[in-house]
Amino acid sequence: MDAPGKVTGTALYAADFALPGMLYGKVLRSSEPHARLVRIDAGRAARLPGVRAVITAADVPDVRYGGSVKDERVFARDRIRFAGQPLAAVAATSPDAAAAALTAIEVVCEPLRPVFDVAAALAPGAPLVHDAWASYTALPILHRDGNVCNRARIVVGDVERGFVEADRVFENRFTTSSVHQGYTEPRAAVAQWDSSGQVTVWSNTQLPFEIQTTLAEILQLPPSKVRVIVPGIGGGFGGKLRIGVEHFAALLAMKTGRPVKVMTTSEEELTAAYARQPATVAVKTGVTNDGRLTAREARLWFDTGAFAGSGPGVASVATLMLAGPYRIPNLLLEGFAVYTNKTNFGSFRAPSGPQANFAVESQMDIIADALGLDPLELRLKNIVREGEEGPTGQVLTAVGLEECLRRAADAIGWRDRRPEVGRGKGIACGWWTTTGGSSGVYVKVNPDGTVALNTGAAEIGTAALTGAAQVLAEDLGVQMADINVVSADTLSTPFDFGAQGSRTAFAVGNACRAAVADLKRQILALASKHLGVEESALALREGSVVGAGKRATLGELARISQASGGGLIAHGTFVAPPTPYDTKRVEGHVYPAFHSPSFHAHATDLSVDAETGEITIHRYVVAQDVGFAMNPAAIEGQIEGGVAQGLGQALSEEIVYENGRVLNANLTDYKMPTARDVPRVESILVQHPSLVGPFGAKGVGEPPNIEPPAAIANAVASATGVRITSLPITAEKVALALRERAK
């Protein structure tokens, strides 16, 4: 629905937003990864031309904030914990003046011994990134210890007995790198205070209500004094879930008494944003000679960076992904979120999905090859099916995995896995959740017969609100063109849990259905009285109420209602029903079950140049169980975009660190795929309707990002006979592996 503005260039994004008299803010960030902050002197910077304010930790409330663990401050106070941590912020009349002021701030610090990776952070005697971690406010269910800010666990059956029952036991280790979400628009916010003491922030956040709460906490205000509005978002993919620059804009605006805009640079995005966590994964799986899985013991260690951020939750979700969509009677699965002296990593489209799936699905092919089994048949022998249990005991329904696997394999021509030398095909499958949380909407029929949909959800480019509007139009019997959407304003829209976790069309669509049910009662009662026809004889059709040969338009009824009853307006709310699970199977778990899970399979056909290691993808096929395809074209767009991001992680993308500092903090050296690098993606929409989603829909946005690394790794192994166990799978790694094998 928002396409015309985007196509014509008239759509307003947060990066475009400006106010009269606006100042420009910039943030001074540490160059040291771990140090004691001795002194910071901003006196000279404050006297420079155009500078209107300089603030440091001494100028803001000493508040710790965060999600599961409150361990972060606005600015470093006594200790610097990563290269890129904010030390001060400046507001000036131009971006250049603000940048000049940053260079004039004097910082004196004493380097401290750092920990740059998970192994170092977990080693005996390792320095603590947070020596006062035990005093931090945190969710009570978390298992914290030293540099571990959460350990989540799933235990099912007796894993040691399961290994005894196995004929073969496979142990493999995999590593993945940090990758950035790659959104086109950097994080941006404009803040302005009014005379009543209310601050309004225009931001490109995915979660306006969470930003409202966090800002209220930082500013020590009641949430009603903080208003967050989302003008537009140029991509998010999880990177704009948490507070980014909104607090800097608000604090500088408070200090100067003028509106202030803060927007990150590409360098800041790659050094101090919420990129995907690097991970190390160890998987041990027992299997019989005929390919039946008997046991799995797996651990995934996330580098969560200097602050917990999304780490405790992502570590929890990882344990469900380590099980895979398989029947395994004995499980011991652990996910660790570990502090290091690197940037605060966060959520990225299907958080934990690609890392865990890369390990699990790579090992499935390793097992199949060792046993002389077809990788597809091994999967089909072990996948979960209708009515069976997931790893935490939830009963699975609407399971479309077998259909996805068979259709993806057929589409790729799976029977001929190695059609020629240097060419091979790979397959990978997985499952994912539809995140819960509350969504509310207001729906109003206007006097001209159009319909207003008021939602707290933000449209982040996925067409999710278009999907919700389709549900509304279908249930109310109106045209899509007659629906206008107002969204994402914490003052004037109802609460929404946010554009995250493949939930928006699902949850907002269900809220629309609830609102329409109420609205229909109002409309039919009013029409019955107006037309003199029994309600049972009336029906909503094409923007009118019809029955017994009589007709009244919705606009006509809205005008009547406004004159006598306050108008035709309804409120609808949806909260996903809890998914039952076995509480005895989990510990320290923030997300113990997948709600309305989706299932999917990816298959690819590629070739590898034996001399250079260069990979050429010839075909890429995705079969995804979407429940019900409300908008097939938009879903295919989500699949194509997800695959593009997944191929970036698989083949080229990596934030490269050396001694805690990013070496490739620019879009030349950080290798995102371009349009020329991404193959045509063939989408197969499988439909096994959800019991909960609107018309049976399931979440669709995140799953396409999960399987590409594993599918590529398996195809490369098929084509070359070498197994790459670290991401990205660059041409250099492949060429070196081929040369090593030749030796």
What domains lie within the chain, and their CATH numbers? 19-112+184-235+240-271 (3.90.1170.50), 279-373+398-434+581-742 (3.30.365.10), 438-575 (3.30.365.10)
Hey, which residues does 423 pair with through a beta bridge? 607
Our measurement of the distance from residue 304's CA atom to the centroid of its chain's CA atoms, rounded to an integer in Å, reads: 15
Q: How far apart are CA 634 and CA 638, in angstroms?
A: 6
What is d(CA 489, CA 740) in angstroms, rounded to the nearest whole number? Answer: 58
564 pLDDT tier (thresholds 50, 70, 90): confident
The structure's pTM equals 0.97
HEC string of 666-680 equals CCCCCCCCCCCCCCC
- Coil, helix or strand for 464? helix
How does residue 566 score in pLDDT terms, banded at 50, 70 and 90?
confident
* DSSP 3-state of 52: strand
Beta-sheet strands, E only, within 218-274: 226-229, 260-263
Q: Which phi and psi angles does 278 have, rounded to 5°?
A: -65, 155
Residue 739, C-beta contacts closer than 8 angstroms, at least 6 positions apart? none
- The answer to which of 209-213, 355-359, 560-564, 628-632 has the lowest mean pLDDT is 560-564
pLDDT exceeding 70 applies to what percent of the chain? 100
> Which two tokens mark 174?
């995999």
Specify the DSSP class assigned to residue 184. Answer: S
Cβ-Cβ contacts under 8 Å for 463 (sequence gap 6 or more): 1, 631, 634, 637
Q: What is the pLDDT of residue 565?
A: 81
What's the CA gap between 310 and 346, in Å, rounded? 5
Q: Give the tens place of pLDDT for each residue, 73-116.
A: 999 999 999 999 999 999 999 999 999 999 999 999 999 999 99
Which tokens is 202 given?
């225009």
The DSSP code for 389 is: B
Residue 455 · residue 485 · CB < 8 Å = yes
Are 378 and 739 contacting, i.e. CB atoms less than 8 angstroms apart?
Answer: no
Contact of 490 with 209, CB cutoff 8 Å: yes
CB distance 698 to 596 below 8 Å:
yes
In whole angstroms, what is the distance from residue 293 CA to residue 118 CA?
30
Nearest to 684 by CA among 654, 639, 642: 639
Q: How many CB atoms lie within 10 A of CB 550?
A: 15
Query: Which candidate, 301, 302, 283, 392, places its Cα nearest to that of 347?
Result: 302
> Using one digit for the tens of pLDDT, what is the confidence trace for 672-713?
999 999 999 999 999 999 999 999 999 999 999 999 999 999
> Does 620 score more than 90 pLDDT?
yes
Q: 628-656, pLDDT tens digit by residue?
A: 999 999 999 999 999 999 999 999 999 99
Report d(CA 510, CA 517) in Å as an integer: 11
Half-sphere exposure of 102 (CA within 13 A, CB side): 19
Q: What six digits make up the tokens of 116? A: 């740059």
Q: Using an 8 Å Cβ cutoff, are 444 and 484 in contact?
A: no
- How far apart CA 9 and CA 7 sit, in angstroms, is 6
Amino acid found at 650: A
Residue among 500, 590, 504 at smallest CA distance from 239: 500
CA 570 to chain CA centroid, Å, is 31
CB 720: neighbour CB atoms within 10 A? Answer: 22
Report the sign of the C-alpha dihedral through residues 590, 593, 599, 604, in that order: positive
Q: Reading across the β-sheet that carries 168-176, which strands appear in turn?
A: 168-176, 279-287, 293-305, 330-339, 148-156, 586-587
**Closest alpha carbon to 313 in 138, 64, 115, 65:** 138
Rg of the Cα trace of the chain?
27
* Contact yes or no for 141/583 (Cβ under 8 A): no
The residue whose two tokens read 């002194």 is: 39
| Residues 617, 445 contacting (CB under 8 angstroms) | no
Q: Phi, psi at residue 78, to the nearest 5°?
A: -115, -15
Q: Which two tokens stand for residue 345?
A: 């990593």
Strand 279-287 and strand 168-176: the pairing is: antiparallel
Nearest to 622 by CA among 514, 535, 708, 723: 708
Residue pLDDT, tens place only, 253-312? 999 999 999 999 999 999 999 999 999 999 999 999 999 999 999 999 999 999 999 999
Tokens 């000049």 locate to 100
Position 607 pLDDT exceeds 90: yes
Edge-first strand order for the sheet with 568-575 is 483-487, 451-455, 438-445, 568-575
Round to whole Å and give the CA distance between 24 and 26: 7
pLDDT at 31 over 90: yes
pLDDT of residue 60: 97
Report, as an integer, the average pLDDT of 589-602: 97
Extract the tokens encoding 127. 């320095």
The torsion defined by the Cα of 443, 446, 448 and 452, in degrees rounded to 10, comes to -40
Q: Characterise 477 by phi-psi region: left (phi > 0), alpha (psi -120 to 50), beta (else).
A: left
Region 382-395 average pLDDT = 98
Summarize pLDDT for 37-61 with one digit per residue, the tens. Answer: 999 999 999 999 999 999 999 999 9
The two structure tokens encoding residue 563: 């004159």
Chain segment 414-436, per-residue pLDDT in tens: 999 999 999 999 999 999 999 99
